[in-house]
Amino acid sequence: MRKLIVYLKPYWKASVLAPLFMLLEVYMDLLQPKLMAQIVNVGVAERDLSYIWQSGGLMLGVAAIGLIGGVGCTIYSSIASQHFGADVRKDLFRTVQTFSFRNLDTFQTGSLVTRLTNDVVQMQTFVQMTLRIFVRAPFLSLGSVIMAITISPRLALILAVSIPILFAVLFLIIRYAYPLFSKVQSKLDGVNTVLQENLTGIRVVKAFVRSKFEGERFGRANKDYMEMALKATRAIAINMPVMQLILNASVVAVLWYGGHHYWTGGMPIGDLIAFLNYVTQVLFSLLMVGMMIMSVSRAKVSAERINEVLETRPEIADSANAKRCAIRAGKVEFTDVSFGYDAGRDPVLRNVTLTAEPGQTIALLGATGSGKSSLVALIPRLYEASSGRVAVDGTDVREIGLDHLRSRIGMVFQESVLFTGTIRDNIRFGKTDAAQEEVEAAAKAAQAHDFIISMPDGYDTLLGQRGVNLSGGQKQRIAIARALLVKPDILILDDSTSAVDLGTESRIQRALKELISGSTTFLIAQRISSVMDADTIVLLEEGRIVAQGTHRELMLTSPMYQDIYRSQLGKEDVVYG
């Protein structure tokens, strides 16, 4: 948790004022029993009404000052803790944005959501309680012990017995409960993961009538979380009754022993009442400390989970002397490249060597799992090649600044991801200052302009989460327009026209040649009709290049390509046959 304290430094004034105000409240609270004892010993015993009124007014004034201290502490502790939580959450989000795809594969989405929400809230609450109760409880307890000793050192021996017993109980409970809180957060990760997957894929769930199955899966995750939370809560629940037992036993001991002193004339009744108040304050303060220590246990678990994310170094980062102006034409070279997602498992790509000249269209064909998407993901360094070299315009991509590299690459993924906002904002996602004319030109090239202007609000049409109010083909065309708007030197289309008809796909390809004729294009497609006009068609199988060339060349030399052609088009090529 010490590593996260630095987030309080910008708010040091509030962090200092909060405990100072609390000390003011504690001091006022310590005066109250003394003043009450004087009222009983002098005002009541001597029937001095004016003294009672005077001391009563003083008590009200002390209480008012204490109220100011309490309110001030609450205000400043809230300021410090809320800013602390906001800054931690912001840094967590910023850190996640720097992660490579492999880093993101390490943390489940549900776990990251829990860490950015529940874990941050736990730490935020801990900071606020630290500035309030962790100041109030120890000082009130220590001050009450001192005041009790000044009243009766012999009666104070009762505290010398009860306080060590309280600490021993707290130690045992904390030792048992701490490991449970880590498991609670892990179970909450599981709940969030199932929930996130279900909400993201709700259409698939409904289409395959799997609501019952998903309900049972969520129910199991929810039950596991509930049972672990109950187990941890039961451990905490033991704390309160044990504390109350020790507190009540101490009060009874004070009344019995103090009453004896009063009857023998060894202690005024007012002092006995004050002493009893101080004992109650001591034990209740320790009770608060006990509850706080439980919160510390939970916060410690959350702090470890937060630090795990913050301390994770992105697998892919800029080199010390990263080049910022290396990309000029868009020539891409793969030299003996191999890649695997996990160490120890078979690689996805094996010794791939391929060159794409500026302005060329390279089509990638192959069965599912042949490594097509993995290959193009190495160009913008979404993943890092395990061996070999990937270069753009003669410079290894590991030596190019990530911002520069990715800003010159337009990429349309297999799944079209859109964001909540207007259609215009989604198209301008990579170039926020683009003029309306540029937006429309990109939309026209992507064959999206016509359906956009047919909507009531045109380019100002608001999209729901993930573009829920658009069809699959419409989402793909907007995603293509988004990539075209930045006029990239390298364009990657990863099966991005699978949801559009052949006519629309043909028009998109013609428009691409006009709008970004100088861009090097990597085209992944399942339909052979989509790639026949490519400059080079690369056929992948099990991560290896098994054939490459033009459509004409492959029809003459590659049996595998011929089989794909016949299976999809159902005829021999009359020109090359």
CATH of the domain at 76: 1.20.1560.10
Q: Indicate whether 205 belongs to any domain.
A: no
Over residues 197-226, mean pLDDT:
78
Top mean-pLDDT range of 7-16, 183-192, 197-206, 274-283: 7-16
pLDDT at residue 266, as a whole number: 64
Place of tokens 């691409």: 512
CATH number where 369 lies: 3.40.50.300
| Residues 160 and 92 occupy one common structural domain | yes
Q: Which range among 13-22, 335-344, 390-399, 434-443 shows the weakest confidence by mean pLDDT?
A: 335-344
Identify whether residues 347 and 476 lie together within a single domain: no
Record the tokens describing residue 161, joined without a space. Answer: 């017995």
Calculate what percentage of the chain has a pLDDT beyond 70.
Answer: 92
Q: Under a CB-based contact definition with an 8 Å cutoff, are residues 57 and 43 in contact? A: no
* Within-domain flag for 8: yes
Angle at 148 between CA 142 and CA 150, to 5 degrees: 105
How does pLDDT run across 119-171, given as a tens digit for each residue?
899 899 889 988 888 888 888 888 888 888 887 787 777 777 877 887 787 77
In a domain, residue 189? The reply is no
Task: Give the model's pLDDT for residue 354.
Answer: 93
Find all residues with CB under 8 Å of 18, minimum gap 6, and list them. 72, 73, 76, 77, 80, 131, 132, 135
DSSP assignment of 231-279 = HHHHHHHTHHHHHHHHHHHHHHHHHHHHHHHHHTTSS-HHHHHHHHHHH
pLDDT band per the 50, 70, 90 thresholds, residue 533: confident
User: Which range marks the domain in which residue 245 is found?
Assistant: 2-181+236-310
Q: Report the b/e string of 316-345 with b at 16+ CB within 10 A.
A: bebeeebeeebbeebbbbbeebebbeeeee
pLDDT of residue 576: 43
* Residue 549 scores a pLDDT above 60: yes
Residue 245 belongs to some domain of the structure: yes
Quick: pLDDT tens for 256-280. Answer: 777 766 676 667 777 777 778 887 8
**When comparing pLDDT for 484 and 416, which is higher?**
484
pLDDT at 471: 82
Asked if 297 and 457 count as a contact pair (C-beta separation under 8 A), the reply is: no
Query: 139 and 96, same structural domain?
Result: yes
* Among candidate residues 122, 87, 486, 427, the one with its CA nearest the CA of residue 297: 122
Same domain (yes/no): 386, 470: no
Same-domain pairing of 302 and 430: no
555 pLDDT above the threshold of 50? yes
CA-CA distance, 420 to 258, in Å (whole number)?
70
pLDDT, position 135: 83
Give residue 189's identity as a one-letter amino acid code: D
Query: What SS3 state is found at 552?
Result: helix
Say yes or no: 336 and 458 in one domain: no
Higher pLDDT, 504 or 333: 333
Query: Last residue of some domain: 246, 276, 310?
Result: 310
- Asked if the model's pLDDT at residue 575 lies above 70, the reply is no
pLDDT exceeds cutoff 80 at 539: yes
- Among 253, 277, 310, residue at a domain's last position: 310
Tokens 């990597």 identify what position? 522
| Cα distance between residue 190 and residue 223, in whole Å | 11
* pLDDT at 577 exceeding the cut of 50: no
Do 18 and 69 touch, CB atoms closer than 8 A? no
pLDDT tens for each residue of 363-386: 999 888 888 889 999 999 988 898
The reported pLDDT for the residue numbered 42 is 73
Whether residue 148 lies inside any domain: the answer is yes
Report CA-CA distances (Å) from 459 to 146, 428, 436, 447. Answer: 73, 11, 9, 14
How many domains are contained in the chain?
Answer: 3
- Residue 27 within a domain: yes
pLDDT of residue 334: 94
- Asked if 292 and 325 sit in the same domain, the reply is no
Residue 245 sits in the same domain as residue 164: yes
Residues 82 and 102 in one domain: yes
Q: Distance (Å, rounded) from C-alpha 254 to C-alpha 248?
A: 10
545: β partners: 540
Query: How far apart, in whole angstroms, are the C-alpha atoms of residue 96 and residue 117?
Result: 14
Q: What is the pLDDT of residues 79-114, one digit of tens each?
A: 999 999 999 999 999 988 888 777 777 777 778 888
Q: Which residue has the higher pLDDT, 171 or 490?
A: 490
Domain limit, last residue, from 277, 310, 343: 310
239: pLDDT strictly greater than 60? yes
Distance (Å, whole) CA 78 – CA 89: 16
CB atoms within 10 A of CB 256: 10
361 or 505: which carries more pLDDT confidence? 361
CB 523 within 8 A of CB 364: yes
Same domain, 439 and 393: no
Are the C-beta atoms of 410 and 483 separated by less than 8 Å?
Answer: yes
Residue 457 falls inside a structural domain: yes
Residues 422, 374 within the same domain: no
DSSP 3-state assignment of 494?
A: strand
Do 379 and 444 lie in one domain? The reply is no
The mean predicted confidence, pLDDT, of the chain is 83
The answer to whether residue 194 sits within a structural domain is no
Which ranges constitute the DSSP H helices of 264-343?
269-310
pLDDT at 357: 92
